[in-house]
Structure 1
């Protein structure tokens, strides 16, 4: 996981993480922080193992830890954070020796991670892991959360 550890210490990555934190300081709903990024990565990896997909762990963690790095931009100007995160992630991935094919696959997944029934296997795994990662059971903001507007009940999957 040498490349992933590089990303976790990358100045741009840390700056984007800090910007997310600043933008969400008063947010009562789920945050887009390192804990979320790692939860998504770990769940995506579990899904890939369970489904026998044989996807490299660093590809999964690369998309997981970078999928929401641009969330702060959406708060600032409304630009879809999936598109922003895809753009911000590219330079970071290049610095840590991901191949052109790996970069293409990771960026495609990040760009589609908000779409149910996404076109690629990686995007589908990322979409599901992102949803499964939320710990809604004891959340104090659940009554006003968009995910529970119709009386849904939290259901732990991973």
Structure 2
């Protein structure tokens, strides 16, 4: 009996976002700003760690978010980081604006629905801090973002300004 091999999930909308001119511009700005950074960086490894954790939590908790939506929100959640470095604009505020510009300019064949765009932008804007009235997607990305940091194995952990309670000194998801 032959095993049927499942094709890898294709995510054309996610890839349209990653290859978007604005995404590339701001991603490169982040990379440039973080060239000599000793603390956690906000590049593809981190973004995909957040996506994977969020997707696992989504499945375990039965939240019902589509995989491509989660991955897209994850790759966009820190896209405003260069604005924080260069202009002291909170990255979740700048990031939501950049994410919306990218999402609103995708070609029709890879466009997200208005409801999906709102969820993605809400994840970007709401991932940074706990706040009263957090919506489910904000909570998912807040937790996934924080859990993605492996303070326990970070060479810069002692110099990090995160509160002791915020640091991940154990592996948790």
Q: TM-score range by the shorter chain?
A: over 0.9
1:119 matched to 2:134: yes
For structure 2, the residue ranges without an aligned partner over 5 or more in a row are 1-10
TM-score by length of 1: 0.92
Cα drift, residue 137 of structure 1: 2.1
CA contact (8 A) 1:143 1:149 kept: no
Distance 1:151 1:83 in 2: 22
* Cα shift readout 1:82-135 (whole Å, capped 9, x = no counterpart): 000000001212214011111111111211111225611111000000001112
- What does residue 13 of structure 2 align with? 3
Partner-residue secondary structure (3-state), 2:128: coil
CA contact (8 A) 1:43 1:129 kept: yes
CA radius of gyration, larger in: 2
CA contact (8 A) 2:149 2:168 kept: no
- What does residue 67 of structure 2 align with? 57
Q: How does 1:31-110 map to 2 (within 5 A)?
A: 31-94=41-104, 95=106, 96-110=110-124
Q: Give structure 1 regions of 4+ aligned residues with deviation exceeding 4 angstroms.
A: 148-153
Cα drift, residue 151 of structure 1: 10
Distance 1:151 1:46 in 2: 21
Paired residues in the alignment total 158
Change (3 A) 1:137 1:51: same
Cα drift, residue 148 of structure 1: 5.0
Root mean square deviation of aligned Cα: 1.8
